[in-house]
């Protein structure tokens, strides 16, 4: 296997796919390597909580990254980066040299304080397949969090006729991004669809009892569930929490495009409409046409210095 890439991408999501295509456009011949932790090639995540539950075929999610003649190095996680030697090492011990390196590792979900496979941190195609299988059975599902993912999964599970409870610390659904009346309307709407809505009620603790997960809430009540789906948002997924000269290691575009992309990932950003004449904006989340949330930010990337390795401040 070729282990020396002029362009190496770490991460196997939509951003990695978009970057690989842009690089291919700018440089038609150079080898491009993409190292992804998931066993699957890049796919669209939005359908995992929407279209697939409404009958869209699973085949529709694949982004066809291989058509850009990219070496897909899948099922391996990068664990170390040596910027001086221009190498990365993966969890099999394989070492890859790079000319330019792009980190497109996305985020990792916030964890709940209970280690059990009855909690699903819903992000991946494999999470979809697992939840879809569980939804075939008459189980009790609890959703922790009233943001986009939590709300979409609650709706998806109700579409399958499942018993669903939502624990939402805010007074309404999407309360951080929607005005109060819309957020409250959604609560009533979900109730009308048969979801048990526990709004204004936070999570105080979790425990296992008799094969069930017991959810303790801040109103000193508790309820049980067979499966918990956590929709709590996430944090940056830079490999192994890598640090480099006092800052996080990050792939960064001088033009700030990456900042833009990161900004668009923020839940509070996702409800804003795109501005005319600008790159795809947050409003693509549920927008009509195009590929929602496809991570393309600002058109073709300018060669040759668009992939820089430099420390950035936490939170950028
Ligand atoms: C269920 C769901 C529905 C969504 N719906 C919408 C929507 O409707 N609209 C919208 O705008 N956004 C939506 N989003 C958010 C959108 O999908 C994300 O903004 C987008 O997936 C971010 O893409 P990414 O490639 O930057 O990161 P990610 O999707 O997080 O992908 C990063 C990839 O890198 C891999 N990786 C991480 N660390 C390493 C490592 N060290 N080595 C190798 N590989 C690594 C991960 O396994 C992962 O495959 C949704 C997200 C989910 C989970």
CA–CA separation, 103 and 8 (whole Å): 9
Instruction: Assess whether the C-beta atom of 77 lies below 6 angstroms from ligand 1.
Output: yes
From the CB of residue 8, how many other CB atoms can be counted at a distance below 10 Å?
Answer: 27
CB of residue 8 inside a 6 A radius of ligand 1: no
Which residues lie below 8 Å from residue 137, measured CB to CB, with a gap of 6+? none
Q: Hey, whose CA ends up nearest to atom 18 of ligand 1?
A: 265
Return the residue whose CA atom lies nearest to atom 30 of ligand 1: 106
**Residue 39: phi, psi to the nearest 5?**
-75, -5
Kindly report the backbone phi and psi dihedral angles of residue 57, in degrees, each rounded to the nearest multiple of 5, phi listed first.
-70, 145
Residue ID of nearest Cα to ligand 1 atom 53: 123
What DSSP element (H or E) covers 24?
helix 14-26
Q: Counting atoms of ligand 1 from 1, which one is nearest the CA of 107? A: 30
Query: Domains plus CATH for the chain?
Result: 4-51+61-106+237-312 (3.50.50.60), 109-230 (3.50.50.60)
Of 161, 168, 236, give the one whose Cα is nearest residue 201.
168
Q: Rounded to whole angstroms, how far apart are CA atoms 197 and 199?
A: 6
Residue with tokens 């299988």: 133
**Closest Cα to atom 50 of ligand 1:** 46
pLDDT in tens, the chain (316 residues): 459 999 999 999 999 999 999 999 999 999 999 999 999 999 999 999 999 999 999 999 999 999 999 999 999 999 999 999 999 999 999 999 999 999 999 988 889 999 999 999 999 999 999 999 999 999 999 999 999 999 999 999 999 999 999 999 999 999 999 999 999 999 999 999 999 999 999 999 999 999 999 999 999 889 999 999 998 887 766 665 444 333 333 343 333 233 334 333 333 223 233 333 333 332 233 332 333 333 333 333 222 222 322 222 222 2
What pLDDT is recorded for position 239? 64
Closest CA to 230 of 218, 211, 215, 208: 215
CB 90 within 8 A of CB 77: yes
Of 232, 235, 10, nearest to 105 by C-alpha is 10
CB 75 within 8 A of CB 37: yes
The reported pLDDT for the residue numbered 109 is 87
């Amino acid at each position: 296997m070729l282990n020396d890439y002029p362009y190496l991408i770490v991460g196997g999501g939509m951003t990695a796919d978009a970057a690989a295509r842009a690089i291919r456009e700018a440089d038609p011949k150079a080898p491009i390597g993409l190292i992804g932790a998931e066993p699957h090639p890049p796919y669209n995540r939005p359908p995992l909580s929407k279209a697939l539950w409404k009958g869209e075929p699973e085949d529709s999610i694949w982004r066809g990254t291989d058509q850009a003649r990219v070496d897909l190095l899948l099922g391996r996680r990068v664990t170390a980066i040596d910027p001086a030697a221009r190498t990365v090492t993966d969890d099999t011990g394989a070492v890859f040299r790079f000319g330019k390196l792009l980190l497109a590792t996305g985020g990792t979900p916030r964890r709940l304080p209970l280690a059990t496979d009855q909690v699903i941190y819903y992000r991946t195609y494999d999470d979809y397949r697992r939840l879809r299988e569980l939804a075939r059975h008459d189980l009790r599902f609890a959703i922790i969090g009233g943001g986009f993912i939590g709300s979409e999964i609650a709706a998806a599970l109700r579409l399958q006729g499942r018993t669903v409870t939502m624990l939402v610390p805010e007074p309404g659904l999407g309360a951080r991004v929607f005005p109060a009346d819309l957020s409250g309307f959604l609560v009533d709407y979900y109730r009308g669809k048969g979801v048990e809505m526990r709004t204004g009620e936070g999570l105080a603790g979790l425990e296992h009892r008799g094969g069930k997960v017991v959810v303790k809430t801040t109103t000193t009540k508790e309820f049980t569930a067979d499966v918990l789906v956590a929709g709590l948002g996430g944090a940056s997924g830079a490999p192994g929490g890598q640090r480099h000269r006092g800052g996080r290691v990050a792939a960064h575009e001088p033009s700030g495009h990456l900042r833009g992309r990161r900004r668009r990932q923020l839940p509070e950003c996702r409800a804003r409409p795109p501005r005319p004449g600008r790159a795809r904006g947050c409003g693509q989340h549920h927008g009509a046409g195009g590929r929602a949330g496809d991570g393309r930010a600002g058109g073709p990337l300018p060669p040759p210095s668009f992939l820089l390795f430099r420390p950035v401040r936490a939170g950028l």
